[in-house]
Amino acid sequence: MGRWVPGARGRLQRAAFDLFAERGFEQTTVAEIAARAELTERTFFRHFADKREVLFAGQEELTARIVVALAEAPAELSALDAAVVAVGASAEIFGDRPDGPRARQAVINAHPELRERELIKMEGLVAALSTGLEGRGVPGAAAALAASSAVAVFRMAFERWLRSDDGRDLGTCIREALGELRAVTAG
Amino acid sequence: MGRWVPGARGRLQRAAFDLFAERGFEQTTVAEIAARAELTERTFFRHFADKREVLFAGQEELTARIVVALAEAPAELSALDAAVVAVGASAEIFGDRPDGPRARQAVINAHPELRERELIKMEGLVAALSTGLEGRGVPGAAAALAASSAVAVFRMAFERWLRSDDGRDLGTCIREALGELRAVTAG
DNA sequence: GCTGCTGATGTCAGCAACTGACATGAGCGT
DNA sequence: ACGCTCATGTCAGTTGCTGACATCAGCAGC
């Protein structure tokens, strides 16, 4: 047992998330977030590099999981297939209920500053996938394009998954989007 | 003739560019930029929404040019081919000498905040291309994927063009990258 | 049990990005 | 000559973010 109320980081995340949803991102000050979490502004910045980062806390874990999945993908898969299978592993993290991710995405989509941060996180995922593919012997240029394509597929699939009200599987959405990408790039 | 020294915007751009290259982005204050341009900090923010935006001034023009090129592309081209031809029209803006763009890109690449801004500009280009493709009758999903792929191709080609010391053409780099994308997504 | 170290938090001062409100002043049309 | 326009200047204020230092519960070693 610690001597302070434990879970400071989690409390900050929850407080930030709630306030962003209630009043919007810019209308919420870091001081307010900290106050709701019963902490100080300074403590917020010890846990998160900046105000936006609090919404992207799980990202490293997600990327790590995808990179592991890429390493474990069957060697006979093509670069693109392996990368797509890897991003599909994110389904384990997101689970079947899109409600949480949907609320989070709504906040992000409503604020350009947060979309910027999301994009650079995606770019980090592309880089990680690209490096992983090179580790599988894929040449640099092909690795970069396959990684980029896989993430594009993932983004489209993720968006559809969030939108769907029937209980569609994220993996299914991914396979569907991959098929559409192949149709578009064929020829 | 104006009553103030004209070209305030351009002077701010040049001052910002020079200072970013000299000392780095974070080490340069808006007040310093304004001072070098013989203007006030407040005036800087009247010309540019924020400190980063000064490096992305030509973006709307670039996007506009690409959208026009897409509209003018032969109707018989596939969605991806049309989008790639359209981004190729950017070559008219960049010219043959990569020196200027190269210096600019070096500044951007050195600072994550600027990379974030660049990514959201690219995302804007994807959206514009996607809309344009839908105007050509391409279904939404295919339009989004083709636009995304075309921009991925452009980014790889642009990077290679900047790196090349021989006088390679940007259009050539684009065609080359498109071929590699097709090889990666085939199968 | 005392001691000293550790590590998360609090406190405080300060810089720099950005904004709103109002003032200025040269040119332009009438 | 008059007043309007509009890019710029001036000023005060909020907020994001940082560095430096203080605090203080627990834990290790004696």
A51 C-beta less than 7 Å away from strand D: yes
Structure-model confidence comparison of residues B5 and B45, the more confident one: B45
Q: Is the pLDDT of residue A177 over 50?
A: yes
The CA–CA distances, whole Å, from B180 to A129, A142, A145 equal 17, 7, 8
Residues of chain A with CATH 1.10.357.10: 58-186
Mean pLDDT of chain A: 96
Mean of pLDDT values over A19-29: 96
A30 touches strand D (CB under 7 A): yes
pLDDT at residue B70 in the model: 98
A79, A119, A181: residue with CB nearest B116 = A119
C1'-nearest nucleotide to the CA of B7: D7
Q: Which sign, positive or negative, has the C-alpha torsion B114, B119, B124, B129? A: positive
pLDDT at B1 over 60: no
| pLDDT cut 90: percent of chain A above it | 95
**Distance C15 C1' – B31 CA (angstroms):** 12
Which band of pLDDT confidence, cut at 50, 70 and 90, is reported for residue A187?
confident
Summarised one tens digit per residue, pLDDT across range B157-178 is 999 999 998 889 999 999 999 9
Share of chain B above pLDDT 90, in %: 95
CATH number of B8-52: 1.10.10.60
Reported pTM: 0.95
Other Cβ atoms closer than 10 A to B121: 18
Residue range B68-113, pLDDT digits in tens: 999 999 999 999 999 999 999 999 999 999 999 999 999 999 999 9
Mean pLDDT along residues B123-147: 98
User: Which chain B residues are within 8 Å of A152, Cβ to Cβ?
Assistant: 145, 148-149, 152
CA distance A5 to A26: 28
b/e per residue A31-68 (b: at least 16 CB within 10 A): eebbebbebeeebbeebbeebbebbbeebeebbebbbe
User: pLDDT at position A5, please?
Assistant: 79
The Cα B145–Cα A96 span in angstroms is: 25
pLDDT range class, residue A1, cuts 50, 70, 90:
very low
B163 interface with A at CB cutoff 8 Å: no
Backbone angles phi, psi at A126, to 5 degrees: -60, -45
In chain A, residues under CATH classification 1.10.10.60 are 8-52
Q: From the Cβ of A45, is strand D under 7 Å away?
A: yes
Give me the CA B130–C1' D22 separation in Å, rounded.
57
Q: Is A182 on the interface with B (CB under 8 A)?
A: yes
Test A183 with B156 for CB contact under 8 angstroms: no
Share of chain A above pLDDT 70, in %: 99
Task: Tell me: pLDDT of A176 over 90.
Answer: yes
Q: Is the pLDDT of residue A3 over 80?
A: no
CA distances from A95 to A121, A162, A169, A177, B118 (A): 20, 12, 9, 19, 32
Contact map slice: B 62-101 vs A, CB within 8 A: 78-81
Please report the pLDDT score of residue A6 as a whole number.
82
Pick the CATH number of B58-186 from 3.40.47.10, 3.50.50.60, 2.60.40.1250, 1.10.357.10: 1.10.357.10
Q: How many CB atoms lie within 10 A of CB B41?
A: 13
pLDDT in tens, A62-90: 999 999 999 999 999 999 999 999 999 99
Out of B148, B153, B185, whose CB is closest to A80? B185
The number of angstroms, rounded, from the C-alpha of B59 to the middle of its chain's C-alpha atoms is 5
Strand D atom within 7 Å of A52 CB: yes
Tens of pLDDT, residue by residue over A106-117, are 999 999 999 999
